């Protein structure tokens, strides 16, 4: 391990294909931790200074203006049936999966990680290929090959249950337009998984009808759409098989009909009272085949009509789904409008409540002051002048308190629904 200058280090060309940059508060916390504690875990780089593990640490170091960072240089080469590039890619994916944790990963990019690891480990190849050593937390060194790997073992490497791995991997079966929506976080991985079970043509048809609003479908809604489209697919396939069979049967009957007609042409019965048996039998067979052909044609036309009606119903269903989504958007706008009106009402209510409480408080203040002054005045009239020092002291305190209150109150006036500060104004006793 040693220090390497930052300008020498390069990001792996496929890093962003599998992993997002850390963003927001998490990124600020990450940068701050490096500012205060430095880079504790060294970056893993190739002999050509390509970063295998530590792209985020490198990015943070650049942001902090560091000149060099600690690195562990590893030598990668073609060996054990894998290319140098695959060894690098294997380490890149596995170290980042382990360090970041599944919960912090983009589900679409995680799906690509799984697919790439399956290719590297040879799970989908089906031929005897040895297993690559699974890296632990202490070592990521490439090692000797041993036995074949199962999908369950791959799930353990990735940190998922086997069922979860299959679900995430299914996202790779989405058409590119839907993969982008999952990657951008607009379409949930669970809804995306349901859509991935549809044929690419069905996904494209659904996307063409709904556009990006397809991302607003909930998982159960996607399940229902999937159920409807699969039912249409089964019925359509069955009708198509019937059409193909009827066409073949019709071709056979038409062929037999032509043969019989040709035979009848070649038979030239002599003018006698009775037709030959073979001639009569041919005519009867021709008649029967013609009837069968007409029946098959009628049946074929009926099935074609049913198929056409089915396609029409499917199109109506998709258009109805689009209208439903548009209605949902309208309802959402109305709901948002209602919420805003409710908030406005709450604000108005709070203003009214505040105004009422202020008016009530001012009224109580006026009544209380006037009442207390009147009570003191009545008592003073009974004995005047006042000779007790304690009474004089309390009276002076009351005067000071009232004067202080007048100074505070006189600084405020209400003009055009606004409370503004004004100069001090002296009030006479009658104003109270």
35 close to 57: Cβ distance less than 8 angstroms:
no
Residue 51: is it exposed, middle or buried by C-beta count within 10 angstroms (0-12/13-18/19+)? buried
- What is the Cα–Cα distance from 58 to 9, expressed in whole angstroms? 8
Tell me which architecture the domain covering 2-195 has in CATH.
Answer: Alpha-Beta Complex (3.90)
- Indicate the domain borders of the chain: 2-195, 385-432
| pLDDT < 70: residue spans in the chain | 101-104, 123-148, 267-278, 325, 328, 331, 383-387, 413-432
pLDDT at 112: 92
- What is the Cα–Cα distance from 405 to 402, expressed in whole angstroms? 5
pLDDT at 155: 85
Q: What is the pLDDT of residues 16-53, one digit of tens each?
A: 999 988 888 889 999 999 999 899 899 999 999 999 99
- Pairing state between β 2-5 and 50-53: unpaired
**Structure-token pair, residue 221:** 């809604």
Identify the three-state secondary structure at position 231.
helix
**Structure-token pair, residue 73:** 């240089």
pLDDT at 133: 45
pLDDT at 141: 37
Nearest to 206 by CA among 185, 187, 184, 234: 187
Integer CA distances (angstroms), 122 to 117, 118, 130, 309, 318, in order: 8, 6, 8, 47, 40
**DSSP code at position 79:** B
Helices marked H in 122-175: 151-158, 162-169
């Amino acid at each position: 391990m040693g220090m390497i200058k930052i300008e020498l280090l390069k990001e792996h060309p496929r890093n962003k294909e599998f992993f997002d940059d850390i963003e927001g508060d998490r990124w600020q916390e990450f940068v701050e931790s490096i500012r205060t504690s430095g880079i504790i875990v060294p970056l893993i780089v190739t002999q050509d200074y390509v970063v295998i593990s530590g792209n985020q640490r490198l990015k943070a170091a650049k942001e902090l203006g560091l000149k060099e960072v600690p690195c562990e240089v590893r030598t990668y080469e073609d060996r054990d049936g894998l290319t140098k590039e695959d060894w690098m890619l294997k380490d890149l994916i596995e170290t980042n999966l382990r360090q970041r944790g599944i919960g912090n990963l983009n589900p679409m990019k995680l799906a690509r990680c799984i697919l790439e690891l399956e290719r590297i480990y040879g799970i989908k190849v089906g031929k005897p290929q040895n297993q690559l050593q699974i890296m632990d937390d202490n070592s990521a060194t490439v090692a000797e090959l041993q036995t074949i790997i199962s999908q369950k073992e791959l799930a353990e490497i990735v940190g998922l249950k086997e069922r979860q791995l299959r679900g995430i991997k299914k996202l790779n079966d989405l058409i590119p337009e839907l993969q982008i929506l999952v990657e951008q976080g607009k379409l949930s991985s669970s809804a995306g998984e349901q859509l991935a079970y549809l044929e690419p043509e069905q996904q494209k048809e659904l996307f063409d009808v709904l556009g990006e609003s397809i991302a607003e479908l909930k998982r159960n809604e996607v399940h229902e759409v999937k159920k409807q489209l699969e039912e249409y697919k089964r019925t359509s396939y069955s009708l198509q098989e019937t059409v193909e069979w009827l066409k073949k049967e019709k071709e056979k009957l038409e062929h037999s009909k032509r043969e019989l007609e040709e035979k009848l042409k070649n038979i030239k019965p002599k003018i006698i009272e009775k037709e030959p048996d073979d001639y009569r039998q041919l005519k009867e067979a021709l008649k029967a085949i013609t009837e069968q052909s007409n029946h098959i044609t009628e049946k074929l036309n009926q099935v074609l009509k049913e198929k056409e009606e089915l396609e029409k119903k499917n199109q109506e269903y998709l258009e109805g789904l689009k209208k439903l989504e548009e209605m949902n958007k309208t309802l959402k706008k109305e709901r948002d409008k209602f919420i805003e009106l409710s908030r406005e009402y709450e604000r108005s209510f709070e203003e009214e409540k505040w105004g009422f409480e202020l008016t009530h408080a001012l009224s109580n203040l006026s009544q209380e002051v006037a009442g207390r002054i009147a009570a003191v005045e009545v008592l003073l009239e009974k004995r005047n002048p006042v000779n007790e020092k304690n009474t004089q002291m309390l009276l002076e305190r009351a005067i000071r308190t009232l004067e202080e209150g007048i100074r505070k109150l006189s600084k405020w006036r209400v003009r055009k629904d606004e409370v503004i500060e004004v100069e001090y104004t002296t009030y006479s006793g009658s104003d109270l």
